[in-house]
Structure formats: structure tokens, C-alpha cells
Amino acid sequence: VSAPRSEVPRPPEPWPGAAPGEPAAEPTALAELADALAEQPPRIPSKYLYDERGSALFDRICDLPEYYPTRSELAIMEQHAAEMARALGPDATVVEYGTGTGRKTRLLLAALDRPCAYVPVDVAAEFLSAASARLAAEFPAVAVVPVWADFTRPFLLPPDVPRGRRRVAYFPGSTIGNFEPDEARALLAEMRDRVGPGGAALVGVDLRKDPRVLEAAYDDAAGVTARFNLNVLAHVNRRFGLAFDPSRFRHRAPWVDRAGRIEMRLVSTVRHEVDVAGRRYRFEPGDYILTEYSHKYRLTEFAALAQTAGWRTRRTWTDAEARFSVHLLET
């Protein structure tokens, strides 16, 4: 993450995607996918999990009995948002990295003392506009400024975003866990530059725990996470005119202890081949495609990571079962 490119924020509008059977509208994206599939193990970038169906399935995941992170983080926000707000002070401008259903954001904005502005940054345009409209209606005194951008790439905020007394980067959902530690550090450093001196960050971080609890959370009995993971194949098929056969893969989500993460995998059940952008990819039974990492941290581990990105950890909050954590970082 380096100097901002000329990625001028555009008003929310649907993300252009290739229609079924159409040639790829995004040649660089197809090349990126082909490169990711050529890695060992092959990968499909996680962003392709979140098409419309994927986002709807993820919403269902959040309500599953096994998927504790959403409930645990909400419990933390319900219990401690007032304390967070006191620590952050009045007149803050909140820059949210990604947008969810807005439940946690709502709790934060409601607790803050006269928040100045709310700036959600998301690559999913429709999702972004819908979430922004809802929050703008609920918080009429807050300037809501949606920014359509991929926050993992350099981006600019509109020049007219009110500065407020303090900028706060909000990054809930343990989305930070989807990045490898080096990328997570780069993203935290970008946030630090973004909020500037005197700024702060609130980051939701899922914690290390019994692998059985973790594996159940990512391979639920109802099979919703399996469908969510397999949907990535239907999505790239549609977007790029490919011919992955979802029935030749099955969902697996093992805890990989040495890496401290859950790995979402699509394991090939048969020997077969798939062509992507003029290259042929061969899968033996047991070969797998990686679709998502979900790193889990110890509190001290995350504080150390944040420190190497130029932050000090001012406070952390956890839920009653110490499953999830929210970190208040200061410059």
C-alpha cells in the first residue's frame, strides 16, 4: 500500500461484471485469477466469494449456531460501545473499511458523542449504497459519505469529507483475519496514515481457541458455509465464462495450527482439468483450491502486529467467553 493513485472516488453504482456468456469485461482480473490458480496451492481470490448470492449466504452464516464471531462482536459492542465512545471523544469522523449489515456500526455511531461524518469504503457498490442510505436515514446529523473503492488498493477520500476532531478507522468483523500477517500489517499502516496524527482505529479481531470450535464455525452442520464456498466457482464461471464443475469439489475448512488460521478449501474429488485464460489446470483427487484464510490471534499477538504498523494498543475488549476482541489503537 503506497501513495494514493488517481483512484478518484465515484458515486455508488453497480460494479460492472461480465454477463453470462459474455467475454471477460475485466482482462486484468482474469489474468489475476489465472495467476492465483497457478500458485501452489492454487487460489481463487476471496473477493469472489461475495457476489450477490455469496453475500446472502454470508448473512445466513452470521445467524448459524456454530458461527460465533458475529454474535460475540455484537455482544462486545452492546456492552462496551459507550466506553469506546468515551475513549474516542466527540466530533469523530468514522472511516469504515468495508460495509456489513451495519448492526455494529449503528451501535458505534449511536454511542459516539456528536459524530461528524461516517465514510464507508466498499467495492460492492449496491451494498454500499443500500447500507449508506439506511445509516443516513437513521443518523440525520451525521454526514454520510460512501466511497466506492477497493480498500486493499490505494484510494482517496473525497476532499469535502469533514475532518472532525479526530479520524477513526473502523474495521469490524475480523476481516483483518482474511489477510496474511504481512498484508494485515500493511493495511494497519495504511489506516494509520489515513487517520493521521491523533487518529485512532477500532479493529475487530477473532481470537485463537479450541480448533473444534473454529472448525465447526467454518463447516456448519446445515452446510451453508459449504454452499458459500462452492458458490465461488459459479461466480467465476459466470464472470469469466469458465467451466469449473462445483460437483467435482467439496468444501473443507481445516484449522492450520502453524499458520494460526482456518483455511477454506475446495477439494477436488476426481482427477480433472479446467481451462482458464488459455492455461490448463489439472486437479488430482485431494488437490485443493484455497479460497479464504481466516487468521485467529492472541491478544498479545495482535498488539505486536499493530505495533509494527505504528500503532499503540490503548484498550481491548472481549466478550464473556473471550472468543472475540475489539482493539482500540492510537497513533
Strand partners, 317: 326
Q: Quote the CA–CA distance of 246 and 272 in Å, as a whole number.
A: 12
Residue selected from 61, 92, 232, 309 as contacting ligand AVJ according to rule CB under 6 A: 61
In this complex, which beta carbon is closest to ligand AVJ, that of residue 26 or of residue 215?
215
**Part of the chain binding ligand AVJ (CB under 6 A), chosen from 34-42, 151-159, 167-175, 313-321:** 167-175
H/E run at residue 324: strand 324-330
Q: Quote the CA–CA distance of 209 and 211 in Å, as a whole number.
A: 6
**Part of the chain binding ligand AVJ (CB under 6 A), chosen from 32-40, 157-165, 174-182, 270-278:** 174-182
**Part of the chain binding ligand AVJ (CB under 6 A), chosen from 18-26, 32-40, 110-118, 175-183:** 175-183
In this complex, which beta carbon is closest to ligand AVJ, that of residue 218 or of residue 288?
218
Nearest 10 degrees: CA dihedral of 226, 227, 231, 232? -20
**Part of the chain binding ligand AVJ (CB under 6 A), chosen from 73-81, 103-111, 171-179, 305-313:** 171-179
Asked if 72 is part of the footprint of ligand AVJ (rule: CB under 6 A), the reply reads no
Asked if 178 is part of the footprint of ligand AVJ (rule: CB under 6 A), the reply reads yes
Count of positions on this chain that bind ligand AVJ (CB under 6 A) = 12
Could you say which residues in the range 201-220 bind ligand AVJ, by CB under 6 A?
218
CB 204 within 8 A of CB 131: no
In this complex, which beta carbon is closest to ligand AVJ, that of residue 199 or of residue 204?
204
Q: Quote the CA–CA distance of 165 and 167 in Å, as a whole number.
A: 7
Q: Least distance (Å) from ligand AVJ to the CB of residue 148?
A: 19
Asked if 175 is part of the footprint of ligand AVJ (rule: CB under 6 A), the reply reads yes
For residue 134 the three cell numbers come to 439506511
CB 58 within 8 A of CB 220: no
Continuous H helices in the chain? 27-38, 52-62, 69-88, 103-111, 125-138, 181-195, 211-217, 224-240, 299-308
The set of residues, in sequence order, having a beta carbon less than 8 Å from that of 267 and lying 6+ positions away, is 249, 250, 251, 252, 286, 287, 288
The set of residues, in sequence order, having a beta carbon less than 8 Å from that of 209 and lying 6+ positions away, is 296, 323
Phi, psi (5° rounding) for residue 248? Answer: -95, 5
In this complex, which beta carbon is closest to ligand AVJ, that of residue 229 or of residue 313?
229
**Part of the chain binding ligand AVJ (CB under 6 A), chosen from 8-16, 19-27, 84-92, 170-178:** 170-178
- Would you give the DSSP letter of residue 65? S
Q: Least distance (Å) from ligand AVJ to the CB of residue 185?
A: 18
Strand partners, 261: 256, 295
Amino acid letter, residue 276: V
Could you say which residues in the range 264-303 bind ligand AVJ, by CB under 6 A?
264, 292, 294
Q: Quote the CA–CA distance of 243 and 234 in Å, as a whole number.
A: 9
Q: Least distance (Å) from ligand AVJ to the CB of residue 324?
A: 10
**Part of the chain binding ligand AVJ (CB under 6 A), chosen from 86-94, 117-125, 172-180, 269-277:** 172-180
Residue selected from 93, 132, 225, 313 as contacting ligand AVJ according to rule CB under 6 A: 225
Asked if 174 is part of the footprint of ligand AVJ (rule: CB under 6 A), the reply reads yes
Nearest-CB residue for ligand AVJ: 294
Burial letters for 249-265: b for 16+ Cβ neighbours within 10 Å, e otherwise? bebbbbbeeeebbbbbb
Asked if 99 is part of the footprint of ligand AVJ (rule: CB under 6 A), the reply reads no
Residue selected from 37, 173, 201, 330 as contacting ligand AVJ according to rule CB under 6 A: 173
Asked if 313 is part of the footprint of ligand AVJ (rule: CB under 6 A), the reply reads no
Task: Report the interface residues with ligand AVJ, using CB under 6 A.
Answer: 61, 69, 173-175, 177-178, 218, 225, 264, 292, 294
